[in-house]
Structure 1
Amino acid sequence: MFLDVVDLRSFYAQPLGVVTRRLLGRAIRSRLPDVRGLSVLGIGYATPYLGVFREEAERCIALMPAAQGVVRWPSSAPTLAALADEGALPLPTASIDRVVAVHLLEMTPDAAASLREVWRVLAPGGRLLAVVPSRRGVWARLDTTPFGNGRPFSRGQVVRLLREALFTPVGWDEALYFPPVSSRWLLRTAVAWERLGGGLSLPFAGVHIVEATKQLYRPAPVKRPSLVPSLEPVFGQGIPAS
């Protein structure tokens, strides 16, 4: 179930949300270091992380699910955000080079259908960068942040979901090692938490950040050989005359 867009905007306006945006945005940017000449789509509630791409990309837009609601983005320029059904995106096939999905897969009632639509709008060679809450992290256990709402994922679940939608995972990061507590002291040490957690590959990160590429061809099913042995013909004996 999607959070209301007002609640999402309120979270990112708080000190905890500001730190989250800075640390998670740094991890997203490291996965997409150069988008010059590319089209970038943010889906879910990705606008806190799209600003760094807006001046660099050829085109940068945001689509927000109808069940969530939409806010104006950017606030001081012509709007680049629109309301859409995440299972039927209003974009031509193969029209987008990079997709950044945040607060989407854990919220939507049909993550597989959303990924199929992302696959459709991605150009050949296009890439998806998805941010999903980790089942092992503290962030998924507290509903005081958006990452504590919806369905968290294990690494294996994310991989299976992507592969079923014809995506191939090609890169993996984790972020948000510090607890989701609005303590000034803790927020000041958040960068140290990230360095320690990432350097030691600690298991309690708050989110998975997975980069996947569009798979162009559906794998052909492997035909298993028949297990029924072939039978040799047996000729019966003639019936003796009476």
Structure 2
Amino acid sequence: MYLDVTHLKEFYDLPLGRMLRVLVGSRVKMLWPEMRGQRLLGIGYAAPYLRPYLKKTNRVFAGMPAAQGVVKWPREVDVPNKAFLMEDGQLPFPDSCIDRILLVHSLEMAGEPSALLDEVYRVLSPGGRVIVIVPNRRGAWARSEVSPFGYGRPYSRPQLDNFLNNHHLSVVSREEALFVPPTNSRVVLKNARSFERLGAVAWPAFAGLLVTEAEKQVYRGIPLKARHVARVLRPVFLPNGKTAGAQVMSGHRGQKGGSLSNRSDR
């Protein structure tokens, strides 16, 4: 079940939301440092993590589910709106036209996650990549309602990998984020980067988020082996009911006696 877009927007304006924008955004930028000439689509509420790419890509779009609602994005009055409403199984794009897709507050909230990934696969260009960010089932953020990541269906690492592979999206990179405790404590927020560095070494399995990059696989058809066509021998009807073999043998016998067997008929 999707959260209301106004709640998501308000959360990212809070200190905790701004901290997530920095910590999670750094993971995205680490995976996708160079996006020049790329067409980028965000799905769910990915706007906070799309902003760094506004002037570094060919095109940027922000798809927001109808059940969640949509707000103008970017917020600036003089910047054209790049956000649009969408359904889980219906993206308003032709096949193979998007180079990169970022899913945030999306897969764990989707009413039809399989239909969503089918559409992601459809619109991705061959070899295109997707980053999926979901709450980690083993992490504390999936159990806390202090952030939007405490809602929806959390995933374990094997669950997410298998789900993506089943939709022909091959996992190429696995990262984690949010080792900081889910709290609004000023002390924690002030030392968030230290928590991240420590947690990545001390307890990586208990990260708050799974950040997974996958690539669209286009499988070639298996060529059919050349079939050897058996030669079909057509029967030849000979006079007097003799077989071809018998006629040949008769000829040989005639030659042995110095004359053909049918010379007397001439």
- Please give the TM-score of this superposition, normalised by the length of structure 2: 0.81
In the alignment, structure 2 segments of 5+ residues that lack a partner are 223-266
Q: What does 1:171-190 correspond to in 2, within 5 Å?
A: 171-190=173-192
How big is the shift at 1:144?
2.1
Which runs of 4 or more aligned residues in structure 1 lie more than 3 Å from their structure 2 counterparts after TM superposition? none
Q: What does 1:30-41 correspond to in 2, within 5 Å?
A: 30-41=30-41
The 8 Å contact of residues 172 and 214 in structure 2, kept in 1 or not, is answered as yes
Question: Which amino acid in the other structure matches residue 176 of structure 1?
Answer: L
Question: Which amino acid in the other structure matches residue 55 of structure 1?
Answer: K
Q: What does 1:44-123 correspond to in 2, within 5 Å?
A: 44-76=44-76, 77-123=79-125
Take 1:143 and 1:9, find their aligned partners in 2: how far apart are those partners? 16
Question: Please, which of 210, 213, 217 is the counterpart of residue 211 of structure 1?
Answer: 213
Take 1:200 and 1:165, find their aligned partners in 2: how far apart are those partners? 33
1:223 corresponds to: none
How big is the shift at 1:199?
3.2
Question: Which amino acid in the other structure matches residue 3 of structure 2?
Answer: L
Percent identity, aligned pairs only?
Answer: 47
Take 1:142 and 1:185, find their aligned partners in 2: how far apart are those partners? 18
Q: Deviations over 1:44-64 (max 9, x none)?
A: 100000011110000011100
The 8 Å contact of residues 133 and 210 in structure 2, kept in 1 or not, is answered as yes
In the alignment, structure 1 segments of 5+ residues that lack a partner are 221-242
Take 2:210 and 2:106, find their aligned partners in 1: how far apart are those partners? 13
Q: Deviations over 1:171-207 (max 9, x none)?
A: 0100000111001111011100111112345221100
**More helix as a share of residues:** 2
The 8 Å contact of residues 176 and 207 in structure 1, kept in 2 or not, is answered as yes
Structure ranking higher on relative contact order (CA contacts 8 Å, 6+ apart): 1
Take 1:33 and 1:183, find their aligned partners in 2: how far apart are those partners? 31
2:140 corresponds to: 138
2:171 corresponds to: 169
Take 1:123 and 1:198, find their aligned partners in 2: how far apart are those partners? 33
